[in-house]
Structure 1
Amino acid sequence: MPASDSRGSAALPASPYTTWQMGPARAGDCVVLVASKPGVFAHGHLDPAASMLAEAIVAVGETVADGAPAQMGARGRSLHLSSGNGFVPAVAARCGYQPMALDRYQSNVEASQRTLHDREGAVVAHAALAGALVPDASCTLVTIRIPTDKLSVQLAIAEAFRVLAPGGTCMLAGGNDEGAKPAAKMLERVFGHARLDAQHSSHRLLTARKLVDAPRDPDAIASPWLDEGHFHEVPVRTGGAAFTLYTRPGVFSWQHLDEATNLLAGVMRIDAGERVLDLGCGAGALGVVAARHGASRVLLLDADADAVRCATRTAQQAGATAIDVRASDVAQAAGDERFDVVVTNPPFHLGKGTDLHIPRAFITQSYDRLLPGGRLYLVANRTLPYEWLIEETFGEVRTAHDGQRFKVIGAVRGG
């Protein structure tokens, strides 16, 4: 079936994915304007863990009176790990801290930047770890919105202990089904104590102060992953190419090459001299395969700060000089550049199955960055309803592979 351009006179409405919204969020007597859009953590609702952290900062500080902000930095520096939309660091700024908001995902970083745009002295960083960004013993407060994997919690608590000054406070919050109880035990092993300050909506808030110079149990946070130059090496053979993936915890499928990416690598057609874009590149497997097939330029984009570092290392070690790796919220960092092929193994962030903003963004932005006649290859769990999203954007759907677990679907952009 020939491709047709479905976005002419009857063009689709602009995707809400690229539309930022500002709305009020309250913690005690403190109200701040928070930025959000689809793709930002907790979009459309107030995260209970973030609310707990913000309310605890206000309650302890008692510095927000009659809505007037305290002087920025009066209470020292604060570090906010997994800052999300920037609500917690914005409250900290109002309460007199000089905040650094740190998050590994680009969409959250952009939200924090917008939320904190009028807080002079506030810093926002796109990184998985504070590392060299924050000196030892330089903060009076650290907040941790706990990630869902145990290893990332361990690293966050280790970073908190390192950057806290003597007497400084660590606040940690998250859901019981996200590992809040084991996180509390780890916090106690490191700081020597952990106080349960609040629990509701199946979430917990834990607090600990740095009362000792060294961790009570050094083994609790001893990890090679605190060295940002340490990578896990995964030898792979896929798509007719053999090379090594360099990965880190938290990067998608960091311990092995996932089945869907392996399938797409074998199905996608890359001709010599073509320009290729990989949206959501992870550790860079598809980019290396495309380069080995003779692509003249390969642009790898991912929202995860560590994925960008891993894909860069993978490309360098594979000798793939045609590859460029950038941090990006979907295809934003590609600018106006156009490509012959877009490949993607998009995140399956469908919530309860009704919010399709994220996959729609991957598909519509793929269309926008393809040259006429350019090809899209998308791999997904076969139960995900991506066909109609592709058809409404491209005017057609082509199936390259239909297996028991995964499918490779796509389309050709018309002229």
Structure 2
Amino acid sequence: MTSPAQQTLFLPFENGILPPLDDGARFLAFGIEADAALEGAWKEALAIVQPFRPAYLKLGRAGFHVVPRLEGDVLFDGGLMLLAKHRGRNEQWFADLLSRVAPGGTIVICGDKKLGIGSFRKWAGKIAEAEDRLSKNHAVVFWMKRPAGLPGEAIEALYPAAKRVDGRFHTAAGMFSHGEIDKGSALLARHLEGRLSGAVADFGAGWGYLSAECLKYPQKITKLDLYEADFEALEAARGNLSGLAGNIPVSFHWQDLVSEPLTAIYDTVVMNPPFHEGRAADISLGRAFIAAAARRLKSGGRLLFVANRQLPYEATLKSLFRSVETLEEGQGFKVVEARR
């Protein structure tokens, strides 16, 4: 079932406020989900950018044309955007729409009121004045024409600046822990020495901080595999780890650890598992990561992970691992070692 905000996104077309699609029209879309209601003309018209692997997989299975990142220089007749929870990524998507929609083409943007659609509409309106708006399903949709004669430098100025972390890591808006080292991950990193061995995997690797910390102990590691569902974060990790691995083979996997099975076997898994689906806490994600680690660890293999102290993972750990030890609690986190 699609979100109420996505239903609202298409209301101007359904209500006849905006004209129906022309034959052969192509619309660039950001952030939308698979939707059985988008059959026929819309399904053919949409080119969807979706960097989040679970949503990307659902769109692909439903037969939509979807890519994780925009490539090439094709112009589109119009654009659609469903606000994500990260303001910076929304700003990036809006700039991409201005770059890729032909002058005079319609751009339609919608978002849940809780995601700040009101303030985003005011910000976007400084670049292109909205023609109109409507509100339904606790969401607001507004639309505009892509201005003609918009200078390229004005569009470039809309892209949020990338942030360097610790003088060595590239991060960008929308990624987990954008612009800073996550406190929980930093706490876990203090316990890696003497506990890493053999084939190592980083589950939910983000932009690569924990993997970089693992590579500080090359004499203990035979290979390192990174798994991450956010395509942009994984590409950042690829750059951030460049030059750090020496002779250690490092591989990068854009993968949903919840729905896509792994085949490799590991001696050590490190992770700072996610516990949010959208804006809501969902501890089943962390439990799924723990179960995935248990399936792919050798007998005697070690899981090292950090989590918010209040998250109840102990029962899952004890049911899947031979021994479980809390190495440290502090700053609202707990660092746990579990052995198969």
TM-score by length of 1: 0.73
Aligned counterparts of 2:241 and 2:260: Cα–Cα separation in 1: 18
Aligned counterparts of 1:74 and 1:334: Cα–Cα separation in 2: 40
Instruction: Output the amino acid matched with 2:231.
Output: A
* TM-fit CA distance, 1:257: 0.9
Aligned counterparts of 1:285 and 1:96: Cα–Cα separation in 2: 39
* TM-fit CA distance, 1:153: 2.1
Alignment partner of 1:310 is 2:236: yes
* TM-fit CA distance, 1:221: 5.6
Alignment partner of 1:246 is 2:170: yes
| Aligned partners of 2:175 and 2:233 also within 8 Å | yes
| Aligned partners of 1:247 and 1:310 also within 8 Å | yes
Q: Give the 3 Å change call, closer, same or farther, for CA 234–341 of structure 1 in structure 2.
A: same
| Aligned partners of 2:98 and 2:155 also within 8 Å | no
Corresponding residue of 2:67? 125
| Aligned partners of 2:34 and 2:62 also within 8 Å | yes
* TM-fit CA distance, 1:287: 1.1
Corresponding residue of 2:191? 267
Instruction: Output the amino acid matched with 2:207.
Output: A
Instruction: Output the amino acid matched with 2:88.
Output: L
Corresponding residue of 1:77? 26
SS in structure 2 of the partner of residue 155 of structure 1: helix
- Unaligned ranges ≥5, structure 2: none
Q: Give the 3 Å change call, closer, same or farther, for CA 103–368 of structure 1 in structure 2.
A: same
Alignment partner of 1:358 is 2:305: no
Alignment partner of 1:201 is 2:149: no
Aligned counterparts of 2:137 and 2:25: Cα–Cα separation in 1: 31
Of the three residues 268, 279, 284, the one matched with 2:203 is 279
Q: Give the 3 Å change call, closer, same or farther, for CA 338–184 of structure 1 in structure 2.
A: same
Which deviates the most, 356-365 or 206-215?
206-215
Give me the CA root mean square deviation.
2.8
Aligned runs of 1:9-408 on 2, under 5 Å?
45-60=1-16, 74-83=23-32, 85-87=33-35, 91=38, 93-95=40-42, 97-116=44-63, 122-127=64-69, 130=70, 132-135=71-74, 138-196=75-133, 198-214=134-150, 219=154, 222-223=157-158, 231-235=162-166, 244-270=168-194, 274-294=198-218, 295-322=221-248, 323-330=250-257, 335-349=262-276, 355-394=282-321, 396-408=323-335
Aligned counterparts of 1:374 and 1:176: Cα–Cα separation in 2: 46
* TM-fit CA distance, 1:94: 3.2
Instruction: Output the amino acid matched with 2:157.
Output: A
Aligned counterparts of 1:96 and 1:292: Cα–Cα separation in 2: 48
* TM-fit CA distance, 1:321: 4.8
| Aligned partners of 2:99 and 2:155 also within 8 Å | no
Once the two structures are superposed, residues 124-144 of structure 1 have per-residue CA deviations (whole angstroms, 9 ceiling, x without a partner) of 1113xx3x3452xx2122111
- Unaligned ranges ≥5, structure 1: 1-44, 64-69, 117-121, 237-243
Which deviates the most, 101-110 or 315-324?
315-324
Count of aligned pairs: 335
SS in structure 1 of the partner of residue 49 of structure 2: strand
* TM-fit CA distance, 1:398: 1.9
* TM-fit CA distance, 1:178: 0.8
| Aligned partners of 1:376 and 1:412 also within 8 Å | yes
Aligned residues with identical type, % of pairs: 23
Aligned counterparts of 2:73 and 2:319: Cα–Cα separation in 1: 47
Aligned counterparts of 1:270 and 1:93: Cα–Cα separation in 2: 58
* TM-fit CA distance, 1:194: 4.1
| Aligned partners of 1:279 and 1:362 also within 8 Å | yes
Aligned counterparts of 1:139 and 1:210: Cα–Cα separation in 2: 11
Instruction: Output the amino acid matched with 2:81.
Output: I
* TM-fit CA distance, 1:77: 1.0
| Aligned partners of 2:271 and 2:306 also within 8 Å | yes
SS in structure 2 of the partner of residue 384 of structure 1: coil
Corresponding residue of 1:7? none
SS in structure 2 of the partner of residue 46 of structure 1: coil
Instruction: Output the amino acid matched with 2:135.
Output: Q
Aligned counterparts of 1:391 and 1:309: Cα–Cα separation in 2: 35
